[in-house]
Structure 1
Amino acid sequence: MAAVLGPRPRTAKGTFLRVLTINDVYKLDNYPRVGTAVRAAKAEAARLDCVVVATLNGDFLSPCVLSAIDGGRAMTEALNHAQLDYVVLGNHEMDFGFDVPMARMAQFRGKAVNTNILTPKFRELPKFDVLAVGERHVVVMGLLSEDTSIYSPSNKPLVQPPAVAAAEAWAEAKAQLGKTPDVCLPMTHMLVPEDKKTAVALSRHAEMGTRTPVLLGGHEHEVYIDEAGKSTIVKVGEDARQLGVVDIWWTADGALRSKVTMLPIDEFDEDPAVKSFVLEKQKFIGTMMRAPIAPVVARMSSRRL
């Protein structure tokens, strides 16, 4: 399985970063294969001299029939079973209001990063995370759209402009480290035009401009890989039918390089333990869907009178 993910970059000097990324997952079906991919990549990390992380870039609780019944508990368990390391909240996490997604994130074993949601409830989440890659440091951010039209009308969060929030988080990470970080790695959940606007704004930053090779995107349900500013925007489509593999490395002369590939998720076998979990939840939802709602005491017709 690990060979499918690709070899160590030929020009890499020292430890490199490998990111496995998905976005907008509304059903459990492909999590067993995601789990296999993540485990395989992490099992090979020491041999390849790399750090492996897996991200889901928003919309992982809703809309989903199962989440409508259990408030997103099973979908959060799936994140843990598949060993996801980082998530950013998407607009549909707000479908439940603000308390429910925060309760679910307390159950998530990875890190939910919130760089630009100013709504007080979400300020409990970390603004960024500093990931060590050998002797270098990567600042992981989570940026949500400021377009209020994409949120449930009754649950619109207060959102800071993504590029402004990213600059603030970068400065805080720099102060925390006592030196300039080596890479900015934003997870985003927004429409493509806003991704492009954000990428262009980051490209003009004195430090992030040369240190943001990739935006790990979400919101669109189709595959989208394109360049904007000095970054590659990567969205792999909904429901983890594809897996994005992003390698970020440094050459012998210190140049920052990156590579993006995408693999069909059926290149990976299903992890038996994750599959068992999925089947259990699917059996539950099947039972619920077959339960009678109400008896019909008289014959009825669909004919319109």
Structure 2
Amino acid sequence: MTKRVRFVHFNDVYRIGPKDTEPVGGAARFVRAIHDKAPDALVVFSGDCFNPSLLSSATKGAHMVPVLNKCNIVAATYGNHDLDFGEDTLIKLSNDCNFPWLLANMHHADGSCIGTAKNHLIHEHNDLRIGFFGLGEEEWVGTLPDPPENMVYRDFIEVAHEQVKFLKEQKCDLIVAITHMRLPNDQRLADSVPGLDLVFGGHDHFYKQEQHGDCFVSKSGTDFQEFTILEAERGAGGERWQVKSERIEVVGSMPQDSEMEKLVEDMEAHISETLDKVVGYTETDWDVRAEAVRTKESNVGNFFAGVMRLRYGAELGLLCGGTLRSDTVYEAGPITARDINTILPFQDPCVVLSITGQQLLEALENGVSKYPAHDGRFPQISGFRFTFDPAMPPMERVVEVLVGEEHEELDLNRTYRLATRYYLATGHDGYDILQKCPEILDHELGSLLSTIVISALKEVTVVKRWKERHSMLRGAIAAWKGIRPWTQRRPEQEGCIVCPRPDGRIQTVEQRSNSVPPEKRTRYSVSYAYGVEVGSPQVDHPLSSH
């Protein structure tokens, strides 16, 4: 007799309202779509929902509970950002959910589970026994701002073997791992654990479906913009489940769930008046997609790191790609407080550290150690530039670092002033070396990066043009040049016009070689050779520290 079961899979959802571009997503259309297109499916969620988002900064994730509860989820696993507000908050949020959370390889020292999680779940459906278990990866344990006390991580492959063995002994017909891990780890899991049939993965924000031997791996995008319907079928006597997947994009023509639509409207209206105020204008698109800010230099990263650096009079500025959220392209035009807070939802302040050249080098090595993975540690910088070689082993990739307006070689023994987020200063995302750097401005005196950016856009009235190829800030009195068809700004309106652009401050060896005369390219084959040119943004009039 043929056995058959359908699943709906989604992961990494932050923004409950629709976007302006297709697929628009939004919780109201998403909920209606999964109910309309797969009413009999088992819904599985792979983590990250309670943070980061604009609303979560106010609700600490509570606004996501009624959204998830409407999805009829059968099982979910925690993502790293679900623990951003600490375990006590996580427990409260989890208890308010109408579905179980699973996480088998992270526990307290006494063996108890994190939050309200269980190791596994056996669910009976259409005469099938389906075994679920949850997994996370070690890489994101170090990113938790407030980790559970005495948290113990176990290798996900080892734990998966144990869980599959147990679930087989319980006569499960189909075994599913719900993970919050990067694709390479999900692929390794699928290849290494016999008896595992499906991997429903989160953490990555892209869409991908692939077969790995006898195991099928699903990644289903982000932000209520898409989901996957999967049908698993096995004939009588068959050993392997055959899996077919269908990608469903949540587009504007889809109907909305009326109850969810009202809920979203009420929550967004609560803070919309303040957030929708225009604070500045940009002449260039801001690409804040994960693939743009976690693998290469970003114009938005350049701008934000530069504003932060100048705000505190630091020589260097360091952010990471994971700082920049929303996974959206913002077209040239008005920028609102909502836009800035959506891109920068985190609530840790900026700090200034005293850092040696050697420590900066180690920090940069960490920043590119996971490249080309879309990893949040990838650096976004100001005040310096560097080149790295992806072909070299991790922590041996940086081959050039240049600092300052005078194109100076990095002095490994010199001390520099570095502006960064407190999150990085406390060693998260692998930036352990920053914990050894003394604070010049501590976190109790620092401001939120979102506040710094908004203040810069609103309050700077005279800032001279940055060097060619770099970002520009012009005063609020400058006339809007109308590169998009909206009403010209009145002179009394607040806000600067900005024009951030990539300028080559972060390049691979190959990219750098293509832009350097042949007679100079031999320098790039020398490990830890420092020299060449600098392209850090410098201004003639620093931002005032209001």
Q: Which bracket does the TM-score occupy, shorter chain normalised?
A: 0.7 to 0.9
Change (3 A) 1:26 1:190: same
Q: Which residue of 1 aligns with 2:55?
A: 66
Q: Give, as a single letter, the amino acid of the residue that structure 1 aligns with 2:269.
A: K
Deviation digits for residues 89-145 of structure 1 (CA, Å, limit 9, x no counterpart) = 001112112221121110000111122211345174221111113332110111111
Q: 1:273 aligns with which of 251, 255, 259?
A: 259
8 Å CA contact retained: 2:8, 2:38: no
Q: Which residue of 2 aligns with 1:145?
A: 137
Q: Which residue of 1 aligns with 2:172?
A: 181
8 Å CA contact retained: 1:196, 1:229: no
Q: Give, as a single letter, the amino acid of the residue that structure 2 aligns with 1:301.
A: T
Q: 2:158 aligns with which of 136, 156, 164?
A: 164
Deviation digits for residues 145-194 of structure 1 (CA, Å, limit 9, x no counterpart) = 1224662254274322122222222344345x3xx321111111111111
Q: Which residue of 1 aligns with 2:89?
A: 100
Provide the secondary structure at the position in 2 that maps to 1:38. helix
Q: Which residue of 1 aligns with 2:181?
A: 190
Greater mean alpha carbon deviation, residues 153-162 or residues 77-86:
153-162
CA distance in 2, matches of 1:158, 1:287: 44
CA distance in 1, matches of 2:197, 2:96: 31
Change (3 A) 1:191 1:139: same
1:204-243 equivalences under 5 Å are: 208=195, 212-243=196-227
Provide the secondary structure at the position in 1 that maps to 2:132. strand
Q: 1:202 aligns with which of 184, 193, 198?
A: 193
Q: How many residues align?
A: 272
Q: Give, as a single letter, the amino acid of the residue that structure 2 aligns with 1:118.
A: H
Change (3 A) 1:133 1:149: closer
Pairing 1:39–2:39 present: no
8 Å CA contact retained: 2:123, 2:129: yes
Q: Which residue of 2 aligns with 1:125?
A: 117
CA distance in 2, matches of 1:86, 1:60: 14
Unaligned ranges ≥5, structure 2: 18-25, 278-336, 338-450, 464-540
Q: 2:100 aligns with which of 104, 111, 121?
A: 111
CA distance in 1, matches of 2:116, 2:48: 19
Change (3 A) 1:202 1:122: same
Provide the secondary structure at the position in 2 that maps to 1:64. coil
Q: Which residue of 1 aligns with 2:244?
A: 259
Change (3 A) 1:148 1:36: closer
Change (3 A) 1:72 1:170: same
8 Å CA contact retained: 1:187, 1:216: yes
Q: Which residue of 2 aligns with 1:49?
A: none
CA distance in 1, matches of 2:462, 2:166: 63
Provide the secondary structure at the position in 1 that maps to 2:144. coil
Q: Which residue of 2 aligns with 1:48?
A: none
Q: Normalising by the residue count of structure 2, what TM-score does the alignment of the two structures yield?
A: 0.46
Structural RMSD (CA): 2.7
CA distance in 2, matches of 1:253, 1:181: 15
Unaligned ranges ≥5, structure 1: 1-11, 46-51
Greater mean alpha carbon deviation, residues 77-86 or residues 166-175:
166-175
1:8-27 equivalences under 5 Å are: 13-14=2-3, 16-27=4-15
8 Å CA contact retained: 1:129, 1:139: yes
8 Å CA contact retained: 1:94, 1:152: yes
Structure holding more helix per residue: 1
- With a CA cutoff of 8 Å and minimum separation of 6, indicate the structure with the bigger relative contact order: 1
